[in-house]
Amino acid sequence: MNRDLLMDDPEEFTREILKVTLHEKQGKYIANRAQFKNALWGRRAGKSTVDAVDLLHWAFKYPGIPQYNLSYSHDQALISFGYAESIMEKCGLSELLDSEPVHSPFGLMKFVNGSTIHARSLQHRGKFVRGKGAARVKVDEAGIIPDNVIEEVVMPMLTDWDGQMCKSGTPWGRGHFHKSYHEGIATKSRPAPLKGNFSLHCPSWENPNISRGYIERMKRKMSEIQFRTEYGAEWMDELGRVFGWKIIQRCFDIAEVLEAAYRNAHVYVAGWDFAKHLDWTVGYVLDVTNPDDIRMVWKDRFQKESYEYVAKRVREVSEMYHVSATCVDSTGVGEVLVDRLRGVVPNLEAFTFSVQSKGELINNLKILMEQGRLHFDFDRDLVDELTYYEYELSGRSGNVLMGTQDEHDDCVTALALAAWAFEANSVEPAVRMV
Strands 325-329, 268-273: pairing is parallel
What DSSP element (H or E) covers 137?
Answer: strand 136-140
- What does the pLDDT read at residue 344? 87
Please name every residue paired with 63 in a beta bridge, in sequence order, or none if there are none: none
Do 13 and 127 lie in a common domain?
Answer: yes
Is there a single domain that holds both residue 202 and residue 249? no
Contacts of 116 (CB under 8 A, 6+ apart): 59, 65, 66, 67, 108, 109, 110
Write the CB contacts of 149 (distance below 8 Å, at least 6 apart in sequence): 122, 125, 126, 254, 255
53 domain-assigned: yes
Whether residues 175 and 274 share a domain: the answer is no
Q: Domain ends where: 146, 176, 206? A: 206
* pLDDT of res. 336: 86
Q: Are residues 27 and 140 in the same domain?
A: yes
User: pLDDT 10s per residue in the chain (434 long)?
Assistant: 456 656 789 999 999 999 999 999 999 999 999 999 999 999 999 999 999 999 999 999 999 999 999 999 999 999 999 999 999 999 999 999 999 999 999 999 999 999 999 999 998 889 999 999 999 999 999 999 999 999 999 999 999 999 999 999 999 888 899 999 999 988 764 444 446 899 999 999 999 999 999 999 999 888 788 899 999 999 987 767 888 888 898 888 654 556 677 788 899 999 999 987 667 899 999 999 999 999 999 999 998 888 899 999 999 999 999 999 999 998 887 888 888 998 889 899 999 988 788 888 998 999 999 999 999 988 889 998 998 888 765 545 455 556 655 457 899 999 999 999 998 776 555 554 43
Residue 168 belongs to domain with CATH number: 3.40.50.300
Q: Which residue, 364, 358, 415, 360, is CA-closest to 386? A: 415
Same domain, residue pair 151 and 256: no
Q: Are residues 65 and 194 in the same domain?
A: yes
Same domain, 47 and 121: yes
Q: How far apart are CA 388 and CA 409, in angstroms?
A: 9
Residue 217: the pLDDT is: 93
Q: 398-402 and 348-351: which strand pairing? A: unpaired
Sign of CA dihedral 336, 285, 390, 42: negative
Contact present, 420 and 351 (Cβ < 8 Å): yes
Residues 140 and 273 in one domain: no
Beta bridge partners of 374: 294
- Report yes or no on 36 lying in a domain: yes
Query: Is 334 within a domain?
Result: yes
> Is 217 a domain residue?
no
Looking at residue 193, what is its pLDDT?
46
Q: Are 274 and 414 in contact (CB under 8 A)?
A: no
Task: Give the total number of structural domains in the chain.
Answer: 2
Contact indicator for 415, 365 with CB cutoff of 8 Å: yes
Q: Do residues 67 and 149 share a domain?
A: yes
For position 105, what pLDDT does the model report?
94
The residue out of 206, 223, 257 marking a domain boundary is: 206
Whether 309 maps to a domain, the answer reads: yes
Output the domain CATH number for residue 340: 3.30.420.240
149 and 271 co-located in one domain:
no
Range of the domain at 119: 3-206
Identify whether 433 is part of a domain: no
**Which of 145, 179, 206 is the endpoint of a domain?**
206
Does the residue 234 lie in any domain? no
- Tell me the pairing of strands 136-140 and 281-287: unpaired
Task: With respect to residue 316, please indicate whether it lies within any of the assigned structural domains.
Answer: yes
Does 181 share its domain with 36? yes
Cβ neighbours for 222, distance < 8 A, ≥ 6 positions apart:
230, 231, 404, 405, 406, 407
> 402 and 263 in one domain?
yes
Judge contact between 271 and 420, C-beta under 8 A: yes
- Closest Cα partner for 244 from 108, 390, 99? 390
Rounded to the nearest 10 degrees, the angle between the axes of helix 74-90 and helix 47-61 is 70
